[in-house]
Amino acid sequence: MKDNSLITAQLLHHMKLAQDTEEEAELLQERRSALVVLRVQNLINNNPRALVLKELLYKQGDAVNKKVEKRIVTLTQFELKWFHDDPEELRADYYMGLVKLPFIYDVVKSKQARNERPSFMISVTMYLDKKKEEKSKRDIFFSCDTVEDRDKWMIAIDYLKTRAIYDAYAKKNTLVNFINSSKSEEKKRDEDADRDLSDLLYDFGDQLKNSTANRANTSANRGIGS
């Protein structure tokens, strides 16, 4: 039978390895997210209407028991579309569904029935069907061939929908600017710090002047008495 202290040490070692592996995975994910976001920013800064992503994904039908089929999916900073697996329909912009990014409120990893591929789900408050008719709230499921592809799509959609929601809010509320208010608050903090420092220097100078005068008076008094 192994000594209890040895078993404890081995358990602690394995726990430390597991923690290190988890932290490394989190760091890798953060780096991957930063790289995807940077690429997206560069694309739309150079061309606001740039095609951020266009790939063949797998989409599940409206109902959970619907089969999964290949779809061409495109993403810009304004909208997400999906098409039949037909380049001609893509060129003609004959989409099967369209979601304006401000109407996406969630992007999460998911599972699809009868599909083992890495999947994600976007939850929307409104979308357009192939007849260009508005449809109400719905969860839409996509899957990819690899985990890396799934994460790439999730990161890009999450970033762009957050940006779109902020832009829509700022457009409706022109007097509200989070960035300017932050700079204003920072400037106020700097002014308060300068004021505190000035007060401190003034107090120090005043104390030094009084101290010098007191010493002079003391010396003078000692001279008179001698």
CATH, residue 118 = 2.30.29.30
Q: Are residues 146 and 226 in the same domain?
A: no
- Calculate mean pLDDT across residues 53-79: 88
DSSP H or E run through 72: strand 68-75
Q: Are residues 70 and 101 in the same domain?
A: yes
Residue 91 belongs to some domain of the structure? yes
- Calculate mean pLDDT across residues 66-75: 92
Task: Report the pLDDT value the prediction gives residue 224, as an integer from 0 to 100.
Answer: 39
Q: Are residues 62 and 162 in the same domain?
A: yes
Smallest CA-to-CA distance from 122 within 144, 105, 147, 98 is with 105
Q: Is the pLDDT of residue 12 over 70?
A: no
Q: Are residues 99 and 191 in the same domain?
A: no
Q: Is the pLDDT of residue 199 over 90?
A: no
DSSP H or E run through 152: helix 147-172
Q: Domain containing 28: what range? A: 21-172
Chain segment 112-139, per-residue pLDDT in tens: 777 889 999 999 999 999 999 999 999 9
The last residue of one of the domains, among 172, 195, 215, is 172
Q: Are residues 83 and 33 in the same domain?
A: yes
Residue 182 belongs to some domain of the structure? yes
Residue 153 belongs to some domain of the structure? yes
pTM score: 0.67
Mean pLDDT, the chain, whole residue set: 79
